[in-house]
Amino acid sequence: MSTHAIPERLPDDAAGTDLREAWRTGRVFGPPIRRTFRDVIADRLPGPQPPQAAMLFEPSADPHWANDIFFLGDFYNAILHQDTCQPHTADGVALLTALAVDDRIPPQHRFQTVVLLFHIATVADRHLARCWPDTPPHADPGSEDRAREAVRSCTPDLLARWAVECPSVRLALAGLAVVFPTDRTLPALTPRLQGFADQHRQGTDIGDYVRFALVLAARDDHHTLTAVETLTDAYWKGTTRRAPTRARALHLLGQMLTTVGDNLTRSAPGE
């Protein structure tokens, strides 16, 4: 990093090429988390980048570049727009994966990137359960399939980090593991989640989430349906009973994972 004095802002008449060059060289500072994201993406994706990367490198791409909270919301929404896959959603998966596997990204944000990957991979199922028997509005099956496959392809690398990840990210990884079950990952999931089950009793957000993930890992449709009915009746927004069981289960798991994330954020706001 340069040791020269860096002006806090550019002259009012700076624009175009000058502004982009100032951003590239670090003379314009965005929020700290944007700078971290930019460093990670520049290192891990040095070639042609997905279109959503413009929010990291082009100040004109984000009117709220100076605010961490607005930046994160806009950046994630550019990848999964209002929980709906678009043609470039699959491209944005590469950005989320790079951020999720880099220890320069704080744990809270690694958690968020993995959760967003879960939501991308389950868009079609979750919307089907919510809208059944109607067709989900704004559905784009082609974009959904490409995005889901993109998440599937990166999931083994994410799960390989389990041993070095913090507990919160492990919770998110468990969601991906049951979305893309394999004969290798599912048997390993039960003992890996047992510690969470021992520490968080049934009836708590984390406790219910972990136990439900274990039910899904067992791949028993009858037990899954029973768990969905029991949990939605007790706590969560229900879905039509005639909707496919897997769709209802992933809809419920998505609600639970979001709530777990909200609680983790409140308990560790400075993470």
What is the average pLDDT across 106-132?
A: 96
Comparison of pLDDT for 233 and 184, the residue scoring more: 184
Percent of the chain with pLDDT over 70: 85
What is the average pLDDT across 90-117?
A: 97
pLDDT band at 81 (very low <50, low <70, confident <90, very high): very high
pLDDT at 77 over 70: yes
Q: What is the pLDDT of residue 264?
A: 76
pLDDT band at 57 (very low <50, low <70, confident <90, very high): confident
Comparison of pLDDT for 180 and 7, the residue scoring more: 180
Q: Is 81 helix (H, G, I), strand (E, B) or coil?
A: strand
Comparison of pLDDT for 216 and 21, the residue scoring more: 216
Q: How far apart are CA 154 and CA 137, in angstroms?
A: 28
Comparison of pLDDT for 231 and 18, the residue scoring more: 231
Percent of the chain with pLDDT over 90: 63
pLDDT band at 11 (very low <50, low <70, confident <90, very high): very low
pLDDT at 112 over 50: yes
Angle, CA of 242, 245 and 247, to the nearest 5°: 100
Q: What is the pLDDT of residue 21?
A: 55
Which of 192, 238, 193 has its CA nearest to residue 212?
A: 193
Answer for the pair 210, 193: CB distance below 8 angstroms, yes or no: yes
What is the average pLDDT across 215-237?
A: 89
Alpha-carbon distance values, 181 to 66, 170, 171, 177, 192 (Å): 40, 16, 15, 6, 15
pTM of the model: 0.86
Return phi, psi of residue 81, to 5°: -80, 110
Tens of pLDDT along 250-267? 999 999 999 998 877 766
What is the average pLDDT across 105-118?
A: 96
pLDDT band at 237 (very low <50, low <70, confident <90, very high): confident
